[in-house]
């Protein structure tokens, strides 16, 4: 057999690993996976502000690694998805530590110690990799990491520390920049909320994991209100998939009148009631996907289904069938199960809609920003009110400009035309039809027209003082862009 050896070029590989689409919370969650796999009892996520020298670390008291295991852990794809793993190992591709870290920083140091053993470290300096064109794994941490490691290892004799320096977005920022400092710690709070969702099952029970972010405990978030007496539990189904069982457990949450204001706000979750309905996919008790109808035909988010949530536990052995991605953040349901999942979802959605009608309540959005929706719909007694949301940034821009830019006006008109709140009005009137219009053609890849509207929105948000990343985040929360794929998802 004639062949050529074609190893990946280091600089291109680093660029590829850095561009896998990790958010900061997703990246931190990937590191916490490794700590859980190492049987850590306590995990601390530390954020320390120092301008361009700011750092983030994930510190655990797990079993640590030998020098050989450390080098393997720092090697890209040293353990691929078919490598034998223990039943508690949350890994999959063997690139999570590197891809998650490279997406957020240019200097990655891992320091580890086994019981009664010495602390040993290895460092990836991406500047060195780019300058040399070689995978030079440094055996000593650079000076900027040594001080942090001294602080983090003090009083510890076992465990692992993953340390990030030269964090993306903060290089060139002075330590005295208070506005950026606030943003830095705001990100820590987002991470804390995300970890409470992803690792909720690990944070409860007699042997619960202790997980902290900036010394504050991570509170588990139970999307199913499992202990609430008014939750309706539907029968569990175990669906066969290539010799394994996929466990599906549906829940119908109580209406708002059965919840205290605090319970209602918490049940709404990080994204609000509308975006938290649907399937919750778990892999080895770790949440992979929260609040999605999995792209199954005929299933979309609507107000009347806000009480419907379904837990799906997939065996790690079926990762390939579910197309679990590198970030462990998305899945695609296997063809063999789609009909069953659709059947279960339709049953649960029907029961949720009936609960809304019978109780005369709408499971209203909680904790969703006012700017997310172009229309505001409410009912007072027997009267339905439908108003344009004047807090929406596109509407504010046009009003403030007193006639405004014609392009902004055209974009606003198209947005209003495409997002007439038919589903909300239908729930309020308690009718039942199946022909609601799909904004900009429905979920999936954004049309050219939708992209033009989003671009105008982006320009307005940046003009109003938001950073490009913040502007894209805002657009991602807006209807209908939360169900469309475009530049705002990158």
Q: How far apart are CA 258 and CA 91, in angstroms?
A: 40
**pTM value > 0.75:** no
Domain identity same for 54 and 82: yes
Last residue of a domain, one of 217, 244, 265: 217
Domain identity same for 281 and 382: no
Buried-exposed string 427-451: b where 16+ CB fall within 10 A, e elsewhere: bbeeeeeeeeeebbeebeebeeebb
Q: How far apart are CA 182 and CA 387, in angstroms?
A: 35
Q: Which DSSP string corresponds to 204-251?
A: SSTTPPEEEETTEEPPP--TT-TT-TTPEEPPPEEEEETTEEEEEEEE
Domain identity same for 439 and 468: yes
Q: Which DSSP string corresponds to 309-366?
A: EEEEEE-GGGHHHHT--TTS------HHHHHHHHHHHHHHHHHHHHHHHHHT------
- In 3D, which of 291, 303, 412, 311 has the Cα closest to residue 355? 303
Range of the domain at 275: 232-359
Residue 473 lies in a domain: yes
Domain identity same for 152 and 37: yes
Structurally, how many domains does the chain consist of? 3
- In 3D, which of 387, 272, 449, 443 has the Cα closest to residue 457? 449
CATH of the domain at 335: 3.30.230
Grouping H, G, I as helix, E, B as strand and the rest as coil, residue 397 is helix
Return the axis-axis angle of helices 406-418 and 448-463, rounded to nearest 10°: 120
Specify the residue for token string 């509308």. 274
pLDDT per residue rounded down to tens, the chain (490 residues): 888 888 788 888 888 888 877 899 999 999 999 999 999 999 999 999 999 999 999 999 999 999 999 999 999 866 554 445 455 555 544 578 999 999 999 999 999 999 988 999 999 999 999 999 999 999 999 999 999 999 999 999 999 999 999 999 888 899 999 999 999 999 999 999 999 999 999 999 877 899 999 999 999 999 999 989 999 999 999 999 999 999 999 999 998 888 888 899 999 988 889 999 999 999 999 999 999 999 998 898 988 999 999 999 999 999 999 998 877 778 999 999 999 999 999 999 999 998 877 654 433 333 344 445 777 766 655 566 677 777 777 777 777 755 567 777 777 777 776 777 666 565 555 444 444 556 777 777 888 888 988 898 888 888 888 888 888 888 887 777 877 888 888 7
Could you tell me whether strands 216-217 and 120-125 are parallel, antiparallel, or unpaired per DSSP bridges? unpaired
Provide the β-strand partners of residue 42: 210
pLDDT of residue 395: 75
φ and ψ of 250, to 5 deg: -90, 150
Residue 48 lies in a domain: yes
Residue 224 lies in a domain: no
């Amino acid at each position: 057999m004639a062949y050529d050896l074609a190893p990946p070029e280091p600089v291109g590989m680093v660029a590829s690993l850095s561009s896998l689409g990790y958010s900061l919370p997703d990246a931190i969650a990937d590191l916490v996976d490794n700590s859980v796999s190492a049987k850590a009892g306590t995990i601390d996520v530390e954020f320390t502000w120092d301008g361009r020298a700011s750092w983030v670390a994930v510190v655990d008291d797990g079993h640590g690694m030998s020098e050989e295991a450390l080098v393997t852990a720092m090697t890209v794809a040293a353990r691929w998805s078919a490598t034998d793993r223990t039943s508690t190992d949350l890994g999959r591709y063997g690139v999570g530590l590197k891809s998650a870290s490279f997406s957020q920083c240019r200097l990655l140091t891992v320091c580890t110690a086994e019981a009664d053993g010495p602390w040993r470290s290895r460092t990836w300096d991406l500047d060195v990799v780019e300058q040399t064109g070689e995978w030079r794994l440094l055996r000593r941490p650079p000076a900027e990491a040594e001080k942090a490691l001294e602080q983090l290892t003090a009083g510890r004799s076992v465990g692992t520390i993953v340390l990030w320096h030269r964090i993306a977005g903060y290089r060139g920022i002075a330590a005295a920049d208070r506005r950026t400092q606030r943003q830095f710690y705001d990100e820590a709070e987002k991470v804390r909320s995300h970890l409470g969702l992803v690792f909720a099952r690990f944070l409860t029970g007699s042997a619960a994991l202790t997980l902290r972010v900036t010394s504050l405990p991570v509170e588990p978030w139970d999307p199913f209100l499992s202990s609430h007496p008014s939750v309706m539990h539907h029968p569990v189904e175990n669906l066969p998939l290539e010799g394994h069982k996929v466990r599906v457990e549906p829940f119908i949450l109580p209406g708002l009148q059965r919840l205290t204001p605090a319970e209602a706000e918490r049940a709404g979750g990080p994204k609000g009631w509308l975006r938290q309905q649907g399937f919750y996919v778990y892999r080895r008790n770790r949440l992979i996907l929260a609040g999605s109808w999995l792209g199954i035909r005929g299933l979309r988010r609507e107000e009347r289904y806000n009480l419907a949530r379904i837990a799906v536990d997939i065996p790690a052995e079926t990762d390939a069938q579910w197309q679990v991605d590198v970030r462990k953040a998305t899945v695609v349901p296997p063809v063999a199960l789609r009909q069953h999942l659709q059947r279960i979802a339709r049953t649960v959605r029907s029961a949720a809609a009936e609960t809304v009608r019978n109780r005369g309540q709408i499971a209203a959005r909680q904790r969703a920003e006012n700017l997310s929706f172009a229309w505001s719909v409410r009912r007072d007694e027997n009267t339905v009110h439908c108003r344009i949301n004047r807090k929406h940034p596109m509407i504010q821009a046009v009003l403030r400009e007193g006639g405004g830019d014609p392009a902004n006006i055209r974009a606003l008109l198209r947005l209003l035309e495409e997002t007439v709140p038919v589903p909300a009005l239908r729930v309020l009137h308690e009718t039942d039809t199946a022909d609601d219009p799909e904004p900009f053609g429905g979920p999936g890849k954004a049309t050219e027209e939708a992209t033009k509207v989003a671009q105008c929105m982006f320009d307005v948000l940046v003009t109003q003082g938001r950073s490009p990343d913040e502007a894209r985040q805002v657009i991602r929360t807006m209807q209908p862009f939360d169900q469309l794929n475009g530049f705002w998802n990158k």
